[in-house]
Structure 1
Amino acid sequence: MQLAYLAEHGGEEFGLRFLHATEQSFRRLLDYPHSGTPKAFVNSHLTGVRSWPVSGFEDIRAYYIVESKAVTILRVLHGRRDVIGILGDN
């Protein structure tokens, strides 16, 4: 999801609100990395992927993997998107 797209279609204030909410959600994941919902994919490269809603934008979720000392955000996607196709579950 591109911030420029959100700002263009929802207004600058909306885009900034989304940016702030995303940062807040990412900080939460750093503090509590296993909070997200585990996802099951066929592709072994996606083992361990979890999802977490962006605060205030619950239809938009961050897909991430918890690694030894890091949380890697793979994508931020709207729930209606083809998550399996986008993340490459084949």
Structure 2
Amino acid sequence: MAYRIKKRPQVIRDLIELATYIAENNLEASEQFLRAAEETFQQLAKLPMMGKICQFKNPLLTNIRQQAVKGFRRYLIFYRLSESEIEIVRVLHGSRDLEAILENDLTEDENELS
């Protein structure tokens, strides 16, 4: 059974931002990155446990998993599993302050729900 992929709106912005950055030096690599990200999303739909669970301190980030984009190991996909879908939370370069970015995103979500 393949899981349904749900991308948060920020994921589209992440992909555009990262592809634009990569394109500054190599347009072909930028296109390859976008294809590889989609391929990785599809792999996650089939094998959702392939990503490793992140060890963040904030309890809001419990059960967040990460998987490198195929062929672009420094670019990480962060996602959560539910019974029937994979929610892609962000796609980020691994050198960024990942926990702070994810914490900020999910805290904003919690505030919107309150």
- The equivalences for 1:46-57 within 5 A come to 46-57=61-72
2:92 pairs, out of 77, 83, 90, with: 77
1:5 aligns with 2:21: yes
- RCO greater where, 1 or 2, for CA within 8 Å and sep 6 or more? 2
1:45 aligns with 2:60: yes
Percent of aligned pairs with the same residue?
34
Does the 8 A contact of 2:60 with 2:103 survive in 1? no
More helix by share: 2
1:25-53 per-residue CA deviation (whole Å, 9 max, x = no partner) reads 11110000011010122322221100001
Letter in 2 for 1:6: I
- The equivalences for 1:15-54 within 5 A come to 15-54=30-69
Post-superposition offset of 1:15: 1.3
Cα RMSD for the two superposed structures: 1.7
Post-superposition offset of 1:88: 1.0
More strand by share: 1
Using structure 2 for the length normalisation, give the TM-score.
0.71
Structure 2's unaligned 5+ residue stretches are 1-13, 108-114
2:10 aligns to what?
none
Using structure 1 for the length normalisation, give the TM-score.
0.87
